Amino acid sequence: MSEDGGAARVALVTGAARGIGRGIALRLARDGLDVAVNDVEANRGELEGVAGEIEKAGRRTAAVTADVSAPDEVESMVERVAGELGRLDVMVANAGIAQVIPLLELTPEDFDKMMAVNLRGVFLCYQAAARQMIQQGGGGKIIGAASIAAHKGFAMLGHYSATKFGVRALTQAAAQEWAEHGITVNAYCPGIVGTAMWELIDEQLGGYMGLKKGEALEQYSQLIALGRVEEPEDVAAFVSYLASEDSDYMTGQSVMIDGGIIFS
């Protein structure tokens, strides 16, 4: 139940076993939403740990393992969440991967894998969530994971940047198509976040740049105007706004929350 005695709104956060996804899931639970969480089977243990934290916060939850790049799995995931928790009001398509590699070394297999998770995965989650929200009525909030790389392509992250530009375009198109149903569609664009993903980027960049562990992260962090590496909670606070009624008049936007790296 919500604080006013009505039924709690229900959110689903993909890629929620760790990092930004975990931060978002826990923040939405603190905001009073019931929060289902998703990740791949390999991360089941961590995912169930996050679900346990949500339950300790007094909210209902469901831990659903699924590959967001697989249409049948995404459809089943949304059906299960709506079935167990009653409905779906907020979809956060957060799941994503990263890889540092020069374009001249990039293989078609590398490219296709990045597209499958970061772009097709967001599309499938957007689509399945919209179908559920339209069916149940009452509108909804669809939120996607973009990046500062959705506003500027980055060297050594070419295919990653391409997926994020794609999320930005998809978000704009979906916002226009689903506005008549009361559904808003927006994306968040983090910068350099202190997560396992950025540890991987640091390691891979260091290999190409001849730097030791942590040195690439330190070098790139100097670009941040606010002078510190972003935390998952910084991103989660903005997603909290996107998931709330305060953002009801905002749609089709991919907003940078990066501490001041990219200005547009």
Active site residue 164: yes
Quick one: which of 127, 207, 111, 221 has its CA closest to 161?
Answer: 111
Residues 79, 77: Cα–Cα separation, whole Å = 5
What is the token pair recorded at 87? 């409905």
Q: What share of the chain is helix, strand, coil (3-state, %, to 5)?
A: 50, 15, 35
Catalytic residue among 160, 208, 213, 220: 160
Catalytic residue among 126, 141, 164, 188: 164
Integer CA distances (angstroms), 100 to 115, 194, 204, 218, in order: 14, 17, 6, 17
What is the token pair recorded at 93? 């398509």
Integer CA distances (angstroms), 180 to 92, 95, 134, 176, 184, in order: 20, 27, 10, 8, 10
Q: DSSP string spanning 146-212?
A: --GGGTS--TT-HHHHHHHHHHHHHHHHHHHHHGGGTEEEEEEEE-SBSSHHHHHHHHHHHHHHT--
What does DSSP assign to residue 58? Answer: T
Active site residue 160: yes
Residues 95, 81: Cα–Cα separation, whole Å = 17
List CB contacts of 204: < 8 A, sequence separation 6 or more: 99, 100, 101
What is the token pair recorded at 22? 């975990």
What is the token pair recorded at 258? 């990066």
List active site positions.
Answer: 160, 164
